[in-house]
Homo-oligomer: A and B are copies of this chain.
Amino acid sequence: MLDRIRIVMIETSHPGNIGAAARAMKTMGLSDLRLVSPKEFPCAEATARASGAAEILENAQVCGSVDEALADAELVIGTSARQRRIPWPSVTARQLAEKVAGEDSVKVAILFGREDRGLTNEELQRCHLHVSIPANSEYGVLNVASAVQLIAYELRMAIVGDEIERPDARSRRHTMVLPELVWDEPPASSDDVERLLEHLQRVSIRAGFLNPDNPAQVVTRLRRLFMRARPDKMEVSILRGVLSGVEKTFDKADD
């Protein structure tokens, strides 16, 4: 489903960006990379940055022209950070992904321009559509490999979906849907909850319940419970009060 999508990088200056783009592609399940007149390729820096995506670099086709890179593509997309003088049909990354997902057998090529000045007007006019990534109006220029990552991610989300593999946690599984809450007390801070958990552990040890040398999963399970509950400040303070009371009673007995 994703093998009909090609990434075309034009006159990339920094070989590290080619490697990073290859890795970005592989993490999202893309594999067809074409490089138009890269400044330096192959290159050790590209390979290093590709990490586990070496075979995408090895199979990358180096092309002498945009025409060669676009051969047999049926829908050509140009990435562009801004609208040009003659406005072109233009979509956001998410809209592009929906469109590509909807056109289920069309061969797509997405063009990424030079690090310093993007695609030329001539290249942009070779495109059916321009795509932009919604960004900070004061500084919206993504690194080219980050742009590849983002667009590949949106394509994957639209075409494959967001299935995350969840390896089994023992045998039984129980789905709990927790409600939306509107709250009266401010949430406890991360620090408040840490102090509560430490306090609960101290008391559990003094009560002979928790073996400090072998806490096993008990501590993790208590932590998970309280992290999930996201106690508010008042709740933490009540529980700390109970624990302090228990400790004082222990102390009195020790006297």
Chain A residues with CB under 8 Å of chain B are 16, 20, 23-24, 26-29, 49, 51-53, 67, 70-76, 82-83, 85-90, 92, 94, 102, 106, 109, 125-128, 132-137, 139-143, 145-146, 149-150, 153, 156-157, 160-167, 169-170, 172-191, 194, 200, 203-204, 206-210, 217-218, 220-232, 234-235, 238-239, 241-242, 244-246, 248-250, 252-254
Q: Using A23-B143, A73-B189 as known contacts, say yes or no to A163 and B134 having CB atoms under 8 A apart.
A: yes
Cβ-defined contact, A167 with B71, below 8 A: no
Q: Using A169-B87, A246-B207, A253-B249 as known contacts, say yes or no to A175 and B179 having CB atoms under 8 A apart.
A: no
Interface centre among A76, A169, A253 (most CB of B within 10 A): A169
Q: How far is the CB of A251 from chain B (nearest CB, A)?
A: 10
Number of copies: 2
Cβ-defined contact, B189 with A184, below 8 A: no
Cross-chain pairs A/B with CB under 8 angstroms, 30 sampled: A24-B142, A24-B143, A27-B141, A73-B189, A75-B230, A82-B167, A83-B169, A86-B169, A86-B220, A86-B221, A109-B190, A125-B223, A126-B227, A128-B230, A134-B162, A174-B184, A175-B182, A176-B187, A176-B230, A181-B228, A203-B242, A207-B245, A207-B248, A209-B244, A210-B242, A218-B238, A221-B235, A221-B238, A225-B231, A229-B229
Residue of B nearest to A109 (CB): B190
Cβ-defined contact, A227 with B127, below 8 A: yes
Cβ-defined contact, B238 with A162, below 8 A: no
* A-B CB proximity, top 9 nearest: A253-B253, A207-B245, A178-B178, A229-B229, A209-B245, A174-B183, A134-B162, A169-B184, A146-B149
Chain B residue numbers with a CB within 8 Å of A206 are 249
Chain B residue numbers with a CB within 8 Å of A72 are 189-191
18 further A-B contacts with Cβ under 8 Å, apart from A73-B189, A126-B190, are A27-B146, A51-B143, A52-B141, A74-B188, A86-B220, A127-B227, A134-B160, A142-B149, A145-B146, A146-B146, A150-B153, A172-B184, A176-B180, A178-B180, A207-B242, A209-B242, A209-B244, A222-B235
Bound CA–CA A104/B201 (angstroms): 33
Cβ-defined contact, A20 with B174, below 8 A: no
